[in-house]
Amino acid sequence: MKVLIVFAHPEARSLNGSLRDVAIRELEAQGHDVRVSDLYAEGWRSEVDRGDFPSLPIDARLGVAAASKQAFEAGTLTADVKGEIEKLLWADVLILQFPLWWFSMPAILKGWVDRVFAYGFAYGVGEHSDKRWGDRYGEGTLAGKRAMLIVTAGGWQDHYSARGINGPIDDLLFPINHGILYYPGYDVLPPFVVYQADRFDDAAFAAAAERLRMRMRTLATTSPIPYRRQNGGDYVIPSMQLRAGLESPEARGFALHLDRPDECGAADKPGVIRSTTNLRAVTA
Ligand code: FAD
């Protein structure tokens, strides 16, 4: 397989840098082709502005979505953005790796998404009608590919559990897993999460590295998080409300959008490989 790692940490000698190297070594040992977008090292520009749209007339009002659509269709996006889009089309698997900063991704990685996920590429795709609301949430340009997160967090695993004060990690990562990765079509694998990352020693690192190697060995066979497909009949169009009665009685909030909450890819259960079947195909 072809694997793209988008790496967002400012220090190569960090814990994240070491884990990235573990992942690369294991993937290459398995015969996979690996490319890395090292955002800090490459000086990635994180903010979207007029500079993203060199063909926009100087006196034109900037509407980011409209300009993105026009530039994507005309092939006039900037070279750095086009390069990342080419890598996304190349890769069978996308890995986003980052330290959890303020319960989310570092700004540089959010800016990579803002700039690279162009209109017509990652959103605004497909037929909009009374039967379909575009190709998104399980369909879209990147359908058929896999994606996963590698995340390090300073907090304890208990603090990110169902009743933990930080909120469940699956909820915190939902906007990334569901809103950014599932939206343009990826099958999203359960995230690999390292907790108490600031208190790492050699033993903790050895254990985390072994778990990560196992996740890299099972990239092709780990079952994706069973998010519901937008156009699979579970949602009313155009309100996009989940049809009544589909959810399990205890499901609330983000968990409503899981087809089988009990099989949810609850973060960091690396031993869980539920099936080699694509769950989406089964539920379609
Ligand atoms: P590093 O600082 O590089 O290393 C962490 C530890 O691992 C160090 O003790 C280091 O010696 C050790 N280490 C590194 N490499 C190795 C190796 N090869 N072998 C053995 N030991 C090694 N945490 C949360 O939980 N929630 C938040 O919302 C949150 N927000 C944050 C916001 C900011 C702005 C910052 C700076 C931190 C925040 N944190 C938060 C903590 C953050 O998630 C952790 O600091 C980060 O995940 C640690 O990863 P790192 O790669 O930066 O670790």
CATH of the domain at 136: 3.40.50.360
Asked if the bond preceding 238 is cis, omega within 30° of 0, the reply is yes
Residue 264 is which amino acid?
A: C
259 found inside a domain = no
**Ranges of residues in the chain whose predicted pLDDT is under 50:** 266-284
Q: Which structural domain range is residue 62 located in?
A: 2-225+265-274
Residue nearest to ligand 1 atom 7, measured at CA? 200
Predicted confidence (pLDDT) per residue in 120-174, tens digit: 999 999 998 888 899 999 999 999 999 999 999 999 999 999 999 999 999 999 9
To test the ligand 1 pocket, which listed residue (15, 38, 149, 150) has its Cβ within 8 A of the most ligand atoms?
15
To test the ligand 1 pocket, which listed residue (200, 205, 210) has its Cβ within 8 A of the most ligand atoms?
200
Asked if the bond preceding 261 is cis, omega within 30° of 0, the reply is no
Distance between Cα 154 and ligand 1 center (Å): 6
Mapped onto helix, strand or coil, the DSSP state of residue 82 is: helix
Residue 245 is which amino acid?
A: G
Give the chain's domain count.
1
Residue nearest to ligand 1 atom 46, measured at CA? 99
253 found inside a domain = no
Q: Which two tokens stand for residue 151?
A: 């995340």
70 found inside a domain = yes
247 found inside a domain = no
236 found inside a domain = no
166 found inside a domain = yes
Residue nearest to ligand 1 atom 13, measured at CA? 15
18 found inside a domain = yes
Residue 222 is which amino acid?
A: T
Q: Which two tokens stand for residue 118?
A: 């162009």
35 found inside a domain = yes
Predicted confidence (pLDDT) per residue in 106-115, tens digit: 999 999 999 9
Share of the chain above pLDDT 70, in %: 92
Closest Cα partner for 7 from 38, 40, 46?
38
Which protein residues are within 6 Å of ligand 1, measured from CB?
Answer: 9, 14-16, 18, 99-103, 152-155, 197-198, 200, 202, 205
* pLDDT at residue number 248: 86
Cβ proximity of 114 and 221 under 8 Å = no
Distance between Cα 192 and ligand 1 center (Å): 15
Residue nearest to ligand 1 atom 18, measured at CA? 18
Please give the Cα distance from 162 to 154 (Å, whole number): 18
